[in-house]
Structure 1
């Protein structure tokens, strides 16, 4: 750490500093060097427009500065890339041979907040990186393919860091720096992996002791998948206790979803929803619902107690209301299917954003991280923040894009794609999917804007929201055999393997 800190403070050349910042972020160890990185970014921001006027400025130089500056909330315009465009608003053709520059431009393009230049950057870099692969060596070609498939901003940091470890030397000009960073990243990975394995054992014991799997035999029993959400949203040793509590909340989102999807009894579901809205005596409920409510009450009270012991506030009423909001949305869907009603696509999506469970999880996460109720956090609690609604929309639409169901899920479910086609009879399936993908892209742009420029919420909460959106592609990217190869690779890399 001291070697890296010294190199950050005294780089051999000013451009080396921003290259090292990029590498530290890609390795997921930038959090060790907050002060040094802030100083480098301040200097970079102050000198960026001067650098743009230099005759020999490279695309890589600007793209590598743009990305960390925007991520850190600096007001840096995408107009910085106009230096590399012609009078027709197209990137200059000589850049098509600059693979390093194209990679940096491609990564920067995903920090889009609705800017035309970044749309153009993405199209240009994608086209020329794809055509360059066959002319590159094995190592560089593999890096380009991984960049195209898993751009950093859209991907899980821990997962990308494992892959980047084998590519570090391509980017660093100092062997000492690369070796120090690589050693630090490997040590951090091994310590975190051991911690995650220990936590998973604890959460398995909790789930077994809770006994709900024996009461709700029809529901999914996927404790590993539930823990992955928490492991992804809140990485690092400082959030160990928080991950355990968050996993408990995640588990009930899945369990409640299964109750409403699989139990085709509107009267019982209405009674269940009323009980959760009032948080009253559950003796009138069927046995399996009563067992679920009692367990939910126990877990919710435990999380509220954890928050009170940590921060001195008890959010029990807010947590209970978040579960009521979720069940109300589930009940709307259950009644649609029971009554054979067909909602329009917008109506379905509006309710589906809530029934995704993201709102309930974010309310729990808000308090687990110590936020108090303010005008700003009320937007989260009431489900009006882009950090919640956009993440939920991304999840709902990604889920609905897939033709495959969860491998262990049965029952009734809706689909935005299906309802969009019914609203637009002349629309083909491919066109409906393209429209859905555009909605996902727009949601990412709104989420980016909130993530980059909202200064009133902690960076940990904002990062957790972004990480949940990143996790969607892992959780819902089914192959033709209804398997999740990306999730399985993620598990093997971060939890159970990849010690080298």
Structure 2
């Protein structure tokens, strides 16, 4: 299924009266288990109890003392204000100066390694390693120059692993190389006569950069999946772990920064590893961690002010998890402003989601929506105090973001406001549908609304707001149409979320899911509907890859990469479970990336 929808900035979600007529027209990667500090262990033990007590106290203090519908099924975050008081052992100015000086020396040496790598397999391996180690942003010019040369290489005489890495790497960088390079690896019966698990894994990962009509890549996925699953019980060590992770989330769809520290530990044992690359990876990881910790302290302070003043019993207290999500969209230090802005947006969108989904009555949600549309709190006098303050904080946060932009960048804010208003209207329509027990009659009808309420369009726009000159007005005009790339991202999120959340949402009043719509449309069982959802999701990945490789999307690669990375984070959050809701699943990833530094002797 390749669903395509048309969206225009002037188009609005229908009100309750026209709702019916308009409607009809990620298991995370391998977790890094390390020894944790005594302080963090103590904090992790006491935090859930503290959050529960706080929530109970807030609910008792609420003037209307209303029960919330969904809050009881969410685990509280364990982090709270942890990053306000955390002191990184590498945070001294003297240590930071030493790291920066050492990094500059190592960068020169690694650039020389890239320049002197001449054999194809060696060049592919070093570029792939730099990307997995999250060092590629330090060598953009060197990598771009190498890729232009690599594209022109005739790979007719190379082995399957080399060809697969060549194909995958080039497609990841928007080179539309032909899948015909794999034809010679098939036998007369159409199979790939390879029994080496490393080769099969390379082919499996490369094939997941497929687009529609690339039959040989479809066949390669079926073949390699079957054989890798059969081999896995008999394998051990890093290769077994890599195969298991790839079967859950193929490598081109994985979030590099989430796995970077684990990959550093495996690269250390790689026969082709370069000592200087390894050292730079550790130093750079520590430097980025300091940057990320500083950003988290800023965002935590902002979020605490909202929580204290609004006293809203949030269903999901997920500030640190929101930041982790956005860290997957861009981790590089140059995007610090973008991360702060985008984390603020996803945090208050989550707050809006909880208001509409768990807290506000139908009438209150209608008032709240009108206030968002008018961009004014004057009409909020009939709302509970906490919803009034939440509304004020959303508008205040918008102004805070505007103040972070230079004068020549202020034009970006109306685009963000447009999506905030669209988000509120869409949430409100879902409230009305939930109250009426309405189930959209088809997947297409469902997605016209739910791909907005999933939050991907507003996050795609928000990912551009904090970027620098490369995000032009043309980029904002493009993303405001909700183009095919953003539609594919939205469907991947919507289907993934519904597959992982369906059973939990049956326990509470909740708007109908895409699974419900498919069962209603085709009169099939839940098992058949879920199987179809997986197929739709894979077809949407083909849609996404087609748009990624589409030369007509002539926007800077760094801009489009934000949307690709956002799609990858959706896979992580919703592939093997709802990791955003069940935040205990990702605490080790957060601790590894944002708490624990590498020990590096300077």
The DSSP-based 3-state class of the residue aligned with 2:317 is coil
Aligned to 1:16: 122
Distance (Å, rounded) in 1 between the aligned partners of 2:437 and 2:514: 16
Q: Of 432, 435, 439, which aligns to 1:342?
A: 439
* Residue of 451, 468, 473 corresponding to 2:548: 451
Contact 1:475 1:487 in 2 (8 A): no
**How far is 1:447 from its partner?**
1.5
Shift of 1:14: 3.9
Please tell me whether the aligned partners of residues 273 and 331 of structure 1 are also in contact (alpha carbons under 8 angstroms): yes
Is residue 163–residue 181 contact of structure 2 (8 Å, CA) maintained in 1? yes
Moved more, 97-106 or 446-455: 446-455
Equivalent residues of 2:501, 2:578 under 8 A apart: no
> Is 1:373–2:473 an aligned residue pair?
yes
| Matched ranges for 1:3-42 at <5 A | 3-11=109-117, 13-42=119-148
TM-score by length of 2: 0.75
Tell me, yes or no, if the aligned pair for 2:203 and 2:220 is still in contact at 8 Å: yes
Higher relative contact order (CA 8 A, sep 6+): 2
For residues 111-122 of structure 1, the aligned pairs below 5 Å read 111-114=209-212, 115-122=214-221
**CA 246–140 in structure 1, closer or farther in 2 if over 3 Å, else same:** closer
- Helix, strand or coil at the partner of 1:330: helix
Mapped partners of 2:309, 2:499: distance in 1: 29
Is 1:322 aligned to residue 422 of structure 2?
no
2:323 corresponds to 1:227 = yes
2:232 matches 1:126: no
- More displaced 10-residue stretch of structure 1: 262-271 or 153-162: 262-271
Residue 47 of structure 1: which of 128, 153, 158 is its match?
A: 153
Q: What residue is the counterpart of 2:392 in the other structure?
A: 294
Shift of 1:24: 1.6
CA deviation profile, 1:144-171 (whole Å, cap 9, x unmatched)? 3333334221111012222222332665
Task: Report the CA distance between 1:63 and its aligned residue.
Answer: 0.8
Aligned equivalents of 1:479 and 1:352: distance in 2? 17
In the superposition, the TM-score normalised over structure 1's length comes to 0.89
What corresponds to 1:207 in structure 2? 303
Would the aligned equivalents of 1:129 and 1:144 in 2 still touch at CA under 8 Å?
Answer: yes
CA, structure 1 residues 11+439, in 2 after alignment: closer, same or farther (shift >3 Å)?
A: same
Residue aligning to 2:176: 75
Q: Provide the residue aligned with 1:2 in structure 2.
A: 108
Change (3 A) 1:269 1:137: closer
Q: Secondary structure at the match of 1:161?
A: helix
Match of 2:484 among 386, 392, 399: 386
Report deviation, 1:419. 2.3
Which structure: greater helix fraction?
1
Q: Determine if the alignment matches structure 1 residue 259 to structure 2 residue 369.
A: no
Structure 1 residue aligned with 2:519: 421
Q: How far off its partner does 1:417 sit?
A: 1.0
> What does the per-residue CA deviation read over 1:321-355, in whole Å, with 9 as the maximum and x for residues that have no partner?
21111111111111111122222232222200001
C-alpha distance 210-141 of structure 1, shift in aligned 2 (>3 A): closer
- In structure 2, the CA distance between the partners of 1:264 and 1:202, relative to structure 1 (3 Å rule), is closer
SS at match of 1:216: coil
1:478–1:484 Cα contact (<8 Å) kept: no
Per mean C-alpha deviation after superposition, the further-off stretch among 37-46 and 243-252 is 37-46
Which residue does 2:198 correspond to in 1? 100
Q: Distance in 2 between matches of 1:406 and 1:231?
A: 27
Question: How far off is 1:89 after superposition?
Answer: 3.2
SS of the residue aligned with 1:113?
coil
- Stretch moving more, 160-169 or 75-84: 160-169
CA distance in 2, matches of 1:36, 1:446: 30
Residue 256 of structure 1: CA displacement? Answer: 0.9
Distance 1:462 1:273 in 2: 31
Please list the CA deviations of residues 447-496 of structure 1 after superposition, one character each: whole Å capped at 9, or x if unmatched: 2222233553233332221222222233334389x845642332122122
Q: What is the aligned counterpart of 2:283 among 181, 187, 192?
A: 187
- 1:68-113 Cα distance to aligned partner (Å, 9 max, x none): 111112230111111111244332x2x1x22222121111111111
Decide which of 586, 589, 600 is 1:487's aligned counterpart. 586
Confirm whether residue 66 of structure 1 aligns to residue 135 of structure 2.
Answer: no
Secondary structure class of the residue paired with 2:211: coil
Task: Name the Cα RMSD after superposition.
Answer: 2.6
Q: Which moved more, 1:253-262 or 1:121-130?
A: 121-130
Q: 1:128 to 1:205 in 2, by over 3 A?
A: same
1:433 aligned onto 2:533: no
**Matched residues in 1 for 2:588 and 2:512: separation?**
29
CA pair 170-450 structure 1, distance change in 2 beyond 3 A:
farther
Distance in structure 2 (CA, Å) of the matches to 1:140 and 1:248? 38
What is the alpha-carbon distance in structure 1 between the residues aligned to residue 248 and residue 170 of structure 2? Answer: 24
Q: Residue 11 of structure 2 corresponds to which residue in structure 1?
A: none
**CA deviation after TM superposition for structure 1 residue 172, in Å:** 4.7
Q: Which consecutive residues of structure 2, in runs of 5 or more, have no partner in the other structure?
A: 1-106
Residues 230-254 of structure 1 deviation map (CA, whole Å, 9 limit, x = unaligned): 2221211111122112111111111
